[in-house]
Structure 1
Amino acid sequence: MRGLDPWKSPDPLGEALHFLRMTGSFYVRSEMSGSWGLALPVMEDALWFHTVVEGRCLLSVPGEPTRELVPGDFALVPHGRGHVLAADDHASARATSVHDLPHEYISDRYAVITHDAGGAGHVATLVCGAVRMDHPAAQKLVRLLPALVVVDADHGPRRSRMRDVLAMVADEARFLEPGGEAVITRLSDILVILALRSWIAHTPRAQTGWLGALQDERIGAALAQIHRNPHERWTVAALASSANMSRSAFSARFTELVGDSVMSYLAMWRMQVAYQTLRSEDVVMAELARRSGYLSEAAFGKAFKRATGVSPGSVRRRQEESMT
């Protein structure tokens, strides 16, 4: 066992899922009755999720067929689009913004909404949340998702884990005891990961492109090296060696599966890591340039703006302003 790192997964796709750590999260338990409709706003770079604890509701996402959600279903709206949850089609057309309903804040990240819209309709209890994922691997995965992902209440063996977690969320939502909001938020994060894993397993196009490359035995190994250690002075030859391939065969297969050349992907990945570092760490710009493989701040700044569309300084200033 000497020399093995037990925390490094031999599964590059599993490592990408490991990076799905949620930040900037907010969770809401909604107890709705009557002819109710709830409009969720556009939230840039956020992923909304919804699960029905009791009752039923309709979920309407622009450009997608309306879906009915029942207990045991779990829905993701990955790209921050505005959308509507409602008792029926009529209520959906006149939905109330979630911001206009009174919130009882249990904590700074968890609120309860109790709303009776009046009239005939359905009683429903929902657990919803909006989360962000800052790691580049997580963001890249989310960008590949369709506008709506629904894992339904199917009773197949692959869904048993999700059903168990949903049952725990339902119990906590019905009888919110001390610490219950902490349990629900952590379980919700698990549900998001389980839903993404289910989508990858059951969607043919998830077996191609970047996700397919992660699942390729050799190219996946090289991608894992880049993701784990983006600041290494990688060469095509070194990455080909890690994949046990010749340089030419590795370059051709990498480009075929990933859609970018090896060095283009490495440069892009480093800029994404640098972007998130500027948002989360108080790092000296010269050090960040060095980590990203540049000898000067000026060269790093030009490459950063070319890759992200903004300068490193503007990212830092925005982050500082958001914290004041």
Structure 2
Amino acid sequence: MNSDHWLNYLTAEGIIISQSFLKGDWGVEMESAQGTYFHFVAQGSALFATEGGKEICLGAGDLIVLPRGDAHVLKRFKDSKTLSLGRFISHSKGLHRRDPDATSFICGSFGIDRDMVMPAIKSLPNSLHLRSESRDLPSAITDTLKQLRAEVEQSRLGSQVVIRHLLSTLFVYVLREWSENSAKEAGNWFSAMQNPLIAKALACIHEKPHHTWTLERLAQEASMSRSAFAKQFRDTVGETPHSYLTRWRLGIAAQLLGQTTLSIGEIAYKVGFQSEYSFNRAFKTARGITPAKAREQQRVDAVGPLIPV
């Protein structure tokens, strides 16, 4: 069974937060933030580190992804002094435009539904570093980054639309690269997706969230006993089948709220809830707002940008 079927139901249309040209001795401290963010080094080099983590040297063409928006530092040299983001912006003497000697960053956010992909997000390390010089890096990623840089720098007709689609594609490529080359050693949710029995049950949830799935029914689909399935599912996925099913249904519902004109009642039944009331209650419990409020917010702004570097 194809283990990446869950990606078919995700949208990751993000935004570019800033393009910065930094020259000289500089350093900036970025606070933690809700979201999945990235820095792409278009030219030059820099040092990167999450709080308490090892310093990583970023070269031209490198991509660093922060799945959970952890606090981190970007600086030019090992002994460079760093400033908070606010102070850095107010003391932006090192900012230069189109300087061939500057380090150029393209920073952005992947507009994913974090609740929907939480098991995957939790399984990822604090930061994912994809090196342009690595021979193992798929050309699909390097080609997408080149296209992204061209669209950001040239800002042609339709660039914003193209950029959103490029970011969605880039996010999927990054997850695929991690799941195929690093996840097995990590022993996490991505490796669970390689388990044919658990993957079969997950595929049932992903592809048919509207079905009345019970623990017994999912265990049958996985060709396992009820108790063995429940334990293995929890051990590998990190939560109970019922919890995962509910969160996935709410994720699909959130997409439908933003992408369709279906009524809330229609959406409730479409994702497997027996009544609009039960759907409203589950949605508000999990996400803190009602489906109606969520639809209103999505129309205003799907992703809240950070302050540009």
TM range (shorter): 0.7 to 0.9
Structure 2: distance between partners of 1:204 and 1:142 = 12
Structure 2: distance between partners of 1:293 and 1:284 = 15
Greater mean deviation of Cα atoms: 210-219 or 27-36? 27-36
Q: Evaluate the alpha carbon distance shift between residue 222 and residue 98 of structure 1 in structure 2; reply closer, same or farther with a 3 A threshold.
A: farther
* Counterpart among 85, 90, 97 of residue 74 in structure 2: 85
Coordinate RMSD, CA, aligned: 3.9
- Report the equivalent of 1:11: 2
Structure 1: distance between partners of 2:10 and 2:253 = 18
Greater mean deviation of Cα atoms: 135-144 or 213-222? 135-144
Structure 2: distance between partners of 1:58 and 1:303 = 44
Q: Does 1:129 align with 2:108?
A: yes
SS at match of 1:59: strand
Q: CA deviation at 1:60?
A: 3.6
- Report the equivalent of 1:242: 221
- Report the equivalent of 1:176: 154
- Report the equivalent of 2:15: 25
Q: CA deviation at 1:181?
A: 4.4
Q: CA deviation at 1:194?
A: 2.8
Greater mean deviation of Cα atoms: 187-196 or 147-156? 187-196
Deviations 1:228-278 (A, max 9, x none): 221122234443443344555544433443243333432332233334444
Structure 2: distance between partners of 1:211 and 1:148 = 16
1:1-324 aligned within 5 A: 10-12=1-3, 14-38=4-28, 40=30, 42-44=32-34, 46-89=35-78, 91-94=80-83, 97=86, 100=89, 115-116=95-96, 123-134=102-113, 137-166=116-145, 172=150, 176=154, 178=156, 181=159, 186-204=165-183, 208-247=187-226, 249-316=228-295, 318-319=297-298
Q: TM-score, normalised by structure 2?
A: 0.75
Which runs of 5 or more structure 1 residues have no equivalent in the other structure?
A: 1-9, 102-113
Greater mean deviation of Cα atoms: 304-313 or 139-148? 304-313
Q: CA deviation at 1:84?
A: 3.8
Given that residues 219 and 225 in structure 2 are in contact (C-alpha distance below 8 angstroms), is that contact kept between their aligned partners in structure 1? yes
Q: Which runs of 4+ in 1 moved over 6 A?
A: none
Structure 1: distance between partners of 2:239 and 2:71 = 32
Structure 1: distance between partners of 2:105 and 2:286 = 40
Given that residues 17 and 109 in structure 2 are in contact (C-alpha distance below 8 angstroms), is that contact kept between their aligned partners in structure 1? yes
Structure 2: distance between partners of 1:219 and 1:140 = 14
Q: CA deviation at 1:210?
A: 3.0
Higher RCO structure (Cα 8 Å, ≥6 apart): 2
Which runs of 5 or more structure 2 residues have no equivalent in the other structure?
A: 303-309
Structure 2: distance between partners of 1:320 and 1:93 = 37
One-letter amino acid of the counterpart of residue 95, structure 2: H
Q: TM-score, normalised by structure 1?
A: 0.72
Given that residues 136 and 273 in structure 1 are in contact (C-alpha distance below 8 angstroms), is that contact kept between their aligned partners in structure 2? no
Structure 1: distance between partners of 2:197 and 2:283 = 29
Q: CA deviation at 1:201?
A: 3.3
Q: How many residues align?
A: 296
